[in-house]
């Protein structure tokens, strides 16, 4: 974009942000009424905490529900949620949660320890098909129950000592367990509401509809117009209602980030989930820019379906990975906003750093492809790369498609799918290569490495190694020191990347446009949103007018 066009763009954006256009925008009205307008990426798969798996769903569910603990958005440290406090035994294996007597469901009923017993039994039931069931596997016998090896839930290490006291017994001391209580897969759901609309383990029933939902978070569902908006209002029954500053939130499915950026520019959104890559330099050039970029605990990568040719051959997988010039990709398509990745775990995750076993090496990549039976691409059977609809994902896929053509002389077709279709394709392993991203649910390397356990709910590669399973599930939890634990992780991750069921591309940064009237929405390593802290400045527009 030339200098003249850049100046015109910045001038137009400045007019929008200072509300000088005709008519009252969503942002101006939202500031006055305390309603946040939030770009949320894709239309959600659903709102059942024990069914969904995505980032768009995470933001919605954590507005509607609250866990035993919540994350402070400034420090990421756990703080009281439904549990007003908790005690941890000396050996770290018994955690006793004390339920806040003021914690209520949105229908006014008191929350109890029994709600968690019922909900965790549901979350772990093999019939539930919960892809995040493994989040609860640190609990004694939870994995055995989830895999049908035992059928008596009383054998699982959770017990209601009374209505306000929940005792949890762990296999081993688990440093990150309290962090897990802010992950939606561990949230309680309202038993009577679930059973009113189906069986306990039924998926996608009517209980999540506006008129039916009973929840326990700071906001209640007030409107859901498919592919248009999901609106929420401040809850009257939430225990910490006095500290909730917003009166409501409107979430928009902004899968098209070009349209999302335009919505921000004309005052329809306070916050965007992303930003078109080619607009980043423009916003970076602005004084007092609304563009916020920060480190993000996540990895952008591709899944290989190791059960389907030609990527059932590790030599093909390595050839595809080694023929990608990640530095060039970052410096061009990605606008120098990310960091090249060579493994699944982001660097310096609580002091842990992953192995780097390969680099950009097109010559070795061609040798590996020839060894696999495709010298200079001869006899190549074709390959399809699937990604969920997004202009950024498309640009990355096109760039890799060209790199593979240039380095290996092979054709790779690319295909986009809408979010729900894409999730089904990945879950059912109906792909050869599929785009994937993983954002840490808690700050620990285990959250990335336990993805590839045998039959793990989010494995989706066909990778399985008993030794790997033993290291992640048994040896690492039993490690006596952090150094020993990290050594085991390093060895396991080395094993993973030698077999390469995934193709890492880059370590994320979070990238958002945030209107300056929004307060209490800090950047953090997990891009974690806690709406209880968010407020809007009702006088922002007036202050900007007075500045003139």
7 Cβ neighbours under 8 A, 6+ residues apart: none
| Element housing 388 (H / E) | strand 384-388
Residues 353 and 489 in one domain: yes
What are the residues whose beta carbons fall under 8 Å from the beta carbon of 23, sequence distance 6 or more? none
Cα(213)–Cα(221) distance, integer angstroms = 7
Are 197 and 234 in a shared domain? no
- For 61, other C-beta atoms within 10 Å of its C-beta total 23
DSSP code of residue 311: T
Please check whether residue 60 lies inside any domain of the structure. Answer: no
Residues 173 and 158 in one domain: yes
- Name the burial class of residue 211, with classes exposed (0-12), middle (13-18) and buried (19+) by CB atoms within 10 angstroms of its CB: exposed
CATH number at residue 268: 3.40.190.10
Q: Report yes or no on 140 lying in a domain.
A: yes
Share of the chain above pLDDT 90, in %: 92
Q: Is residue 56 part of a domain?
A: no
Question: Which residue range(s) make up the domain with 223?
Answer: 3-44+217-272+514-547
* Cβ neighbours around 446 below 10 Å, total: 24
What mean pLDDT, rounded, does the chain reach?
Answer: 94
Going by pLDDT thresholds of 50, 70 and 90, the confidence category of residue 23 is confident
Do 504 and 523 fall into the same domain?
A: no
Of 264-268, 445-449, 543-547, minimum mean pLDDT range: 543-547
* More confident site: 128 or 544: 128
Same domain, yes or no: 12 and 121: no
258 CB contacts (<8 Å, ≥6 apart)? 276, 391
Residue corresponding to tokens 């949620």: 81
We report the CATH number of the domain holding residue 441 as: 3.10.105.10
Same domain, 268 and 387: no
pLDDT at 544: 82
pLDDT tens, position by position, 80-117: 999 999 999 999 999 999 999 999 999 999 999 999 99
For residue 280, being part of any structural domain is answered with no
Helices (H), ranges, 125-231: 142-146, 177-180, 191-196
- Let me know: does 150 contact 144? Beta carbons within 8 Å: yes
Nearest alpha-carbon partner for 278 in 326, 335, 338 = 335
Residue 57's pLDDT band, with cuts at 50, 70 and 90, is very high
Across 191-290, the runs of DSSP E, i.e. the strands, are 219-225, 229-234, 248-252
Does 146 have pLDDT greater than 90? yes
Burial of 165 (0-12, 13-18, 19+ CB in 10 A): middle
Quick one: 452 and 523 in the same domain?
Answer: no
Residue 300 resides in a domain: yes
| Domain final position from 145, 175, 203 | 203
- Taking the C-alpha atoms of residue 80 and residue 532, their distance in angstroms, rounded to an integer, is 13
Within a domain: 228: yes
User: Tens of pLDDT along 285-323?
Assistant: 999 999 999 999 999 999 999 999 999 999 999 999 999
Tens digit of each residue's pLDDT (9 = 90 or more) over 63-82: 999 999 999 999 999 999 99
Residues 411-438 pLDDT 10s: 999 999 999 999 999 999 999 999 999 9
Residues 417 and 496 in one domain: yes
Domain identity same for 168 and 187: yes
**Residue 547 banded pLDDT, cuts 50, 70, 90:** confident
Same domain, 160 and 28: no
β partners of residue 303: 434, 502
- Domain boundary residue, one of 203, 226, 250: 203
Are 118 and 165 contained in the same domain?
yes
Q: Are residues 78 and 18 in the same domain?
A: no
Instruction: Tell me, yes or no, whether 222 lies in a domain.
Output: yes
Instruction: Specify whether the CB–CB gap between 230 and 59 falls below 8 A.
Output: no
Pick from 205-214, 339-348, 536-545: least confident: 536-545
pLDDT of amino acid 542: 84
Answer yes or no: is 95 within a domain.
yes
Does residue 10 surpass a pLDDT of 50? no
Count the helix, strand and coil residues of the chain and give each as a percent rounded to the nearest 5.
Answer: 35, 20, 45
CA gyration radius for the chain?
Answer: 24
**pLDDT surpassing 80 at residue 498:** yes
Task: Indicate the number of domains in the chain.
Answer: 3
Q: What is the arithmetic mean of pLDDT over 370-399?
A: 97
């Amino acid at each position: 974009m030339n200098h003249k066009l850049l100046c015109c763009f910045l001038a137009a954006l400045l007019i929008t942000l200072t509300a000088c256009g005709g008519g009252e925008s969503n942002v101006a009205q939202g500031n006055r009424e305390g309603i946040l307008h939030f770009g949320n990426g894709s239309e959600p798969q659903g709102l059942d905490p024990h069914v969904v798996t995505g980032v768009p769903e995470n933001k919605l569910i954590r507005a509607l529900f609250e866990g035993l603990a919540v994350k402070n958005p400034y420090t990421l440290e756990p703080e009281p949620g439904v549990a007003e406090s908790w005690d941890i035994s000396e050996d770290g294996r018994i955690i006793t949660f004390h339920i806040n007597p003021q914690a209520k469901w949105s229908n006014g009923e008191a929350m109890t320890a029994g709600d968690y017993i019922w909900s965790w039994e549901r979350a772990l039931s093999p019939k539930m098909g919960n892809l995040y069931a493994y989040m609860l596997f640190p609990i004694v016998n939870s994995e055995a129950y989830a895999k049908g090896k035992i059928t008596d839930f009383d054998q699982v290490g959770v017990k209601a000592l009374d209505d306000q006291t929940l005792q949890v017994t762990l296999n081993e001391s688990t440093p990150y367990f309290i962090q897990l209580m802010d992950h939606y897969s561990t949230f309680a759901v309202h038993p009577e509401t679930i059973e009113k609309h189906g069986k306990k383990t039924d998926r996608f029933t009517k209980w999540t509809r506006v008129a039916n939902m009973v929840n326990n978070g700071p906001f209640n569902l007030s409107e859901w117009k498919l592919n248009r908006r999901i609106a929420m209002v401040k809850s009257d029954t939430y225990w910490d209602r006095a500290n909730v500053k917003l009166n409501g939130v409107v979430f928009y499915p902004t899968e098209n980030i070009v349209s999302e950026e335009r919505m921000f520019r004309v005052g329809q959104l306070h916050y965007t989930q992303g930003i078109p890559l080619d607009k980043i330099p423009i916003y970076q050039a602005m004084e007092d820019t609304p563009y916020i970029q920060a480190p993000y605990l996540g990895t952008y990568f591709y899944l290989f379906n190791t059960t389907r040719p030609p990527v059932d051959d590790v030599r093909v997988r390595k050839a595809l990975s080694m023929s990608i010039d990640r530095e060039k990709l970052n410096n061009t398509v990605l606008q120098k906003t990310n960091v090249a990745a060579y493994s699944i775990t982001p660097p310096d995750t609580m002091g842990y750093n992953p192995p780097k076993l390969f680099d950009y090496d097109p010559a070795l990549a061609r040798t590996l492809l020839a060894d696999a039976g495709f010298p200079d691409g001869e006899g190549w059977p074709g390959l399809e790369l699937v990604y969920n609809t997004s202009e950024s994902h498309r640009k990355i896929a096109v760039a890799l498609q060209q790199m593979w053509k240039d380095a290996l002389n092979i054709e790779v077709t690319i295909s986009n799918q809408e979010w729900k279709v894409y999730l089904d394709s990945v879950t059912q392993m109906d792909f050869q290569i599929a785009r994937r991203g993983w954002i840490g649910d808690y700050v620990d390397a285990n959250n990335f490495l336990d993805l590839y356990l045998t039959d793990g709910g989010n494995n989706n590669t066909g990778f399985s190694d008993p030794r790997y399973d033993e290291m992640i599930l048994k040896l690492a939890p039993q490690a006596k020191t952090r150094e020993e634990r990290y050594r085991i992780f390093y060895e396991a991750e080395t094993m993973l990347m030698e077999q390469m069921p995934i193709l890492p591309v880059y370590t994320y940064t979070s990238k958002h446009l945030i209107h300056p009237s929004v307060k209490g929405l800090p950047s953090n390593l997990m891009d974690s949103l806690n709406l209880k802290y968010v407020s809007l400045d009702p006088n922002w527009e007036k202050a900007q007018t007075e500045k003139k």
